[in-house]
Amino acid sequence: MNQYETVFILTPVLSDSQMKEAVEKFKGVLQEEGAEIINEENWGLKKLAYPIQKKSTGFYQLIEFKANPTTIEKLELNFRRDERVIRFLTFRMEKYAIEYAEKRRNLRATAPQVEKK
């Protein structure tokens, strides 16, 4: 099994519950295929570098997981078919990327949480 990271952008017109439902759908696809989810991060609503489908913002979501290569085909097929997804990128993590991701997770876990106002 290889380690992968996928980042996808959901349309900004979704409510909070619709966004969570979409994320759960994609996590479900991974779990059905026997993938092990390592890390999940919700980056929230961010401005896009350029308009996509006449939208200038989107909800960013990152999922890091271990899976077989055939799982990626099914996950990306679901991304393409879902109208809520405006962009996605999935890539296999190299040894150094895996080390960096572990360090980043450890730093986030030990850093004090700051509330946004």
Element (H, E) at 61: strand 55-67
The class that CATH gives domain 2-110 is alpha beta
Closest-CA residue to 4 (of 96, 73, 93, 98): 93
> Structural domain boundaries of the chain?
2-110
Give the predicted TM-score (pTM) of the model: 0.83
Please tell me what DSSP assigns to residue 113. Answer: P
pLDDT at res. 58:
95
41 backbone dihedrals φ, ψ, rounded to 5° = -135, 135
pLDDT at res. 98:
81
pLDDT at res. 115:
63
Q: Amino acid letter at 18?
A: Q
pLDDT at res. 113:
65
pLDDT at res. 117:
55
Q: Check if the beta carbon of residue 43 is closer than 8 Å to that of residue 61.
A: yes
pLDDT at res. 109:
75
Low-confidence ranges of the chain (pLDDT < 50): none
